[in-house]
C-alpha cells in the first residue's frame, strides 16, 4: 500500500536557538521543535524530569474529600474494598493502593470482575455481594465514572463510594462521596491524561502529604505505576512522562518480587517502554482475557519467590494460549477477508466460536494490515459481542452512533469500540455500516508517515544517534522520531528469517549504513544491488560483539527519483 510521506517544516532559527541554549545536536533540537517543546524549562523537564515535576494532587476534583474519608477509615479500621478493572492498568492500580494502605495499617479487600462473565466496570450483583461481606467503603480504580446507576445502588445498600478513574464522564457523574477524575468538566488539574494507576498514584501522594510522610513512601511505587501507565497507551507527556521516565529507572532495581520474576522471564535484554508494552503488558492482560484476572494481581502482591515463579509460569502459559487462539482467529478472519471483503471500504466479520477476550487484538491487526476500519463479532447463540478498531481520519464511535439501528449497545472512542449485535441483525448492521463508510469517502484516506527531518549520512554519528535516546521512553504522543534519507545506493540486500525480514547495506558519498526492515522481507524481490532508494526509518545503535554501529530501522522504502 502506498503511503504519504510528510516531513515537518524546517524551523531553522528555532532549531538553532534550542541547540545553543541547551547544548544539543541540531538533530535532537529538530525533533523537540516538531513536538512543540521549545522553552528551555520545558526541554529540561522533558529530557530529564524529576520528582519536582509532579503537580499538586489536591488540585484534582474531590481529592481532599477522598483523603479525609480514607484517613477516617484507617483510624477506625473500617472494612474497605477496592473495585478495579481486569487489565494491566486496573491490576496495577489495585496493587499500588492495596499495598500503600496496608503499610498504613489498613488491610483492604479487592474485587475484579470476570471479563468473560461480567464484562467491564461495576455491576449490581458484585456490589450486592460486596455489601453482604460487610464492607462499608468501596474505592473504585480505573473504573466507576460511568457507573452512575450501580453506585446509586451501592449507596442505597448503605455503602459509601469513592471513585478514582481516568475515563470520560457521561452527562452525569456518580453522586457519591468523591469522584476523582481529571476529565470532569469542573476539573482544575493541569493534566487530564493520566492512566487509572496514575490517578491512584496522585491519591497516595495526597495521603502522604496529609500524613506528612517522606516522599519515598509514595515514590517507591513508581515501578508498578510505570507498568500500568505504559500498558494503557496513554500519552507519554507531562506527568505520564515523569512517571514513565522515573519508573523505568526504578524497574531496573525493583523490589517487587513478582515484577522482577516476570521481567526475568520475558527475555528482553533492555528494560524500556518496548519491553513493558510487548513483554509485560500482554502477559498481565492475558490473565483477564482468559478469565483468570486474579493471577496477575497475586503476582504483584506476593512476597514469596517460589509463588512468584509459579504464577509467572501461569502468566506465560495464558499468554501462549492467548497467542494460539488469536492466531487461529486471525487466520480465519484473513481467509474471509480475501474471499469476500477485500474490496470493501470496511471489514465487518462475524463467526461462531471466536473468543471475545482476544478479538480486539485481531481487529487491531486486521486494521493495521488492510488500513480499513474493522469490526469483529463473536456469536454465542443469538448473542453477538465484538470489538472494532479504526484508522486515523475515521471516527468509529461517531460511525456507530449513525448506524445504531441494529445495535444493542456499544461504547468506546474514535479509534476503538466494543459492541453488542444480535445475530439476526448482523447482516443488516453490516450493510448499514458499509453504506455509511462509503458515503464518508473512506477510500480517499491514505496512511501518512510523519517524518521529523530529512538527513544525509554524513550528518550523523554514534554520539548524535545515542543522544536521541534522551527522548525515550517512547509511546503515545511521543513516537520514535523518523528520518528521511534520499538517494542511497544498495550495496547488499537479502532477506532474513525465512523471508520475513529485510536486510540492506546502503552507501551515500562513501558513507555506509546498515538497514533492517522487520516484516518487509517480501520487498527483496522489488530491488537489486545498485538501485538508488529513498527510505524512512528510525536511527538506532546496533551493538554486536562489543561493536556499536548506526542502523536504520525501516518504516518505508521506495525507488529514488533522483539518478
In 3D space, the residue among 320, 128, 330, 104 whose CA is nearest the CA of residue 218 turns out to be 104
Q: What confidence tier does 1 reach under pLDDT thresholds 50, 70, 90?
A: low
Over residues 185-195, mean pLDDT: 96
Q: Does pLDDT of 545 surpass 90?
A: no
Instruction: Give the helix/strand (H/E) hosting 463.
Output: helix 462-467
477 sits in the region (left: phi over 0; alpha: psi -120 to 50; else beta) called left
Query: Is residue 343's pLDDT more than 90?
Result: no
The 10s digit of each residue's pLDDT in 223-260 is 999 999 999 989 999 999 999 999 999 999 999 999 99
Query: Is the pLDDT score of 543 beyond 90?
Result: no
Does 450 have pLDDT greater than 90? yes
Percent of all residues in the chain with a pLDDT value above 90, rounded to a whole number: 84
- Given a cut of 70, whether residue 563 has pLDDT beyond it is no
CB-based contact 355:329 (threshold 8 Å): yes
Identify any residues that bridge with 379 across adjacent strands, giving them in sequence order.
352, 384
* CB 356 within 8 Å of CB 385: yes
Is pLDDT of 357 > 90? no
Joined grid coordinates for residue 220: 517507591
pLDDT tens digits along 489-534? 999 999 998 899 999 999 999 899 999 999 999 999 999 999 999 9
Please state, in angstroms and rounded to a whole number, the distance separating the CA atoms of residues 533 and 515: 12
C-alpha cell, 321? 494460549
> Cα(230)–Cα(234) distance, rounded to whole angstroms?
7
Is the pTM above the cut of 0.75?
yes
Q: Which domains does the chain have, with CATH numbers?
A: 4-20+449-559 (2.40.50.460), 53-248 (3.90.1640.30), 252-326 (no CATH), 343-444 (3.10.310.30)
According to the model, what pLDDT value does residue 463 have?
Answer: 94
- Output the pLDDT for position 184: 94
- Cβ neighbors of 163 (< 8 A, separation 6 or more) are 140, 144, 145, 147, 151, 174, 176, 178, 179, 180, 181
How high is the pLDDT of residue 342? 82
Three-state SS at 554? strand
pLDDT 10s digits, 65-111: 999 999 999 999 999 999 999 899 999 999 999 999 999 999 999 99
pLDDT tens track for 254-308? 999 999 999 999 988 889 999 999 999 999 999 988 888 899 999 999 999 999 9
Q: Is the peptide bond before 379 cis (omega within 30 degrees of 0)?
A: no
* 37 has pLDDT over 80: yes
Residue 185 reports pLDDT greater than 70: yes
* Residue 399 vs residue 116, higher pLDDT: 399
Amino acid at each position: 500500500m502506498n503511503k504519504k510521506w510528510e516531513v515537518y517544516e524546517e524551523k531553522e532559527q528555532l532549531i538553532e536557538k534550542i541547540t545553543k541554549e541547551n547544548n544539543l545536536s541540531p538533530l535532537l533540537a529538530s525533533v523537540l521543535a516538531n513536538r512543540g517543546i521549545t522553552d528551555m524549562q520545558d526541554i529540561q523537564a522533558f529530557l530529564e524530569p524529576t520528582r519536582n515535576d509532579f503537580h499538586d494532587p489536591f488540585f484534582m476534583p474531590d481529592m481532599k474529600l477522598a483523603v479525609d474519608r480514607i484517613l477516617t477509615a484507617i483510624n477506625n479500621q473500617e472494612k474497605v474494598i477496592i473495585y478495579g478493572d481486569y487489565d494491566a492498568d486496573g491490576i496495577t492500580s489495585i496493587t499500588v493502593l492495596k499495598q500503600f494502605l496496608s503499610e498504613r495499617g489498613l488491610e483492604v479487600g479487592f474485587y475484579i470482575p470476570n471479563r468473560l462473565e461480567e464484562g467491564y466496570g461495576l455491576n449490581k450483583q458484585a456490589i450486592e455481594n460486596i455489601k453482604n461481606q460487610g464492607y462499608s467503603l468501596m474505592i473504585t480504580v480505573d473504573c466507576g465514572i460511568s457507573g452512575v446507576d450501580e453506585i446509586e445502588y451501592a449507596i442505597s445498600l448503605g455503602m459509601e463510594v469513592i471513585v478514582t478513574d481516568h475515563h470520560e464522564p457521561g452527562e452525569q457523574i456518580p453522586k457519591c462521596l468523591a469522584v476523582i477524575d481529571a476529565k470532569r468538566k469542573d476539573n482544575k488539574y493541569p493534566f487530564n491524561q493520566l492512566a487509572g494507576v496514575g490517578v491512584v498514584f496522585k491519591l497516595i501522594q495526597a495521603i502522604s502529604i496529609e500524613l506528612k510522610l517522606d516522599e519515598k513512601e509514595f515514590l517507591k511505587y513508581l515501578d508498578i505505576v510505570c507498568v500500568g501507565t505504559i500498558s494503557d497507551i496513554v500519552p507519554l507527556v507531562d506527568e505520564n512522562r515523569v512517571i514513565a521516565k522515573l519508573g523505568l529507572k526504578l524497574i531496573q532495581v525493583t523490589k517487587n518480587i513478582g515484577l522482577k520474576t516476570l521481567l526475568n522471564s520475558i527475555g528482553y535484554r533492555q528494560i524500556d517502554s518496548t519491553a513493558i508494552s510487548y513483554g509485560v503488558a500482554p502477559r498481565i492482560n492475558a490473565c483477564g482475557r482468559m478469565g483468570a484476572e486474579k493471577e496477575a494481581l497475586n503476582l504483584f502482591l506476593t512476597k514469596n519467590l517460589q509463588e512468584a515463579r509459579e504464577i509467572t509460569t501461569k502468566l506465560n502459559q495464558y499468554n501462549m494460549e492467548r497467542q494460539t487462539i488469536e492466531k487461529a482467529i486471525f487466520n480465519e478472519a484473513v481467509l474471509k477477508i480475501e474471499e469476500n471483503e477485500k474490496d470493501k471500504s470496511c471489514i465487518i466479520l462475524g463467526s461462531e466460536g471466536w473468543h471475545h477476550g482476544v478479538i480486539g487484538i485481531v481487529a487491531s491487526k486486521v486494521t493495521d494490515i488492510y488500513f480499513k476500519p474493522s469490526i469483529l463479532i463473536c456469536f454465542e447463540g443469538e448473542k453477538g459481542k465484538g470489538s472494532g478498531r479504526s484508522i486515523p481520519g475515521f471516527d468509529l464511535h461517531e460511525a456507530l452512533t449513525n448506524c445504531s439501528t441494529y445495535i444493542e449497545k456499544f461504547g468506546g472512542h474514535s479509534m476503538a469500540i466494543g459492541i453488542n449485535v444480535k445475530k439476526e441483525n448482523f447482516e443488516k448492521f453490516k450493510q448499514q455500516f458499509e453504506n455509511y463508510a462509503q458515503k464518508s469517502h473512506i477510500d480517499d484516506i491514505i496512511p501518512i508517515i510523519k517524518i521529523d527531518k530529512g538527513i544525509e549520512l554524513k550528518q550523523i554519528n554514534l554520539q548524535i544517534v545515542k543522544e536521541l535516546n534522551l527522548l525515550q521512553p517512547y509511546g503515545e504522543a511521543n513516537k520514535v522520531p523518523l528520518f528521511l534519507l534520499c538517494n542511497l545506493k544498495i550495496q547488499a540486500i537479502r532477506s532474513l528469517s525465512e523471508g520475513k525480514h529485510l536486510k540492506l547495506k546502503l552507501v551515500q558519498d562513501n558513507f555506509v549504513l546498515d538497514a533492517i526492515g522487520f516484516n518487509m522481507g517480501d520487498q527483496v524481490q522489488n530491488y537489486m544491488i545498485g538501485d538508488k532508494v529513498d527510505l524512512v526509518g528510525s536511527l538506532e545503535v546496533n551493538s554486536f560483539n562489543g561493536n556499536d554501529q548506526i542502523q536504520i530501522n525501516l518504516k518505508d522504502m521506495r525507488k529514488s527519483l533522483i539518478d
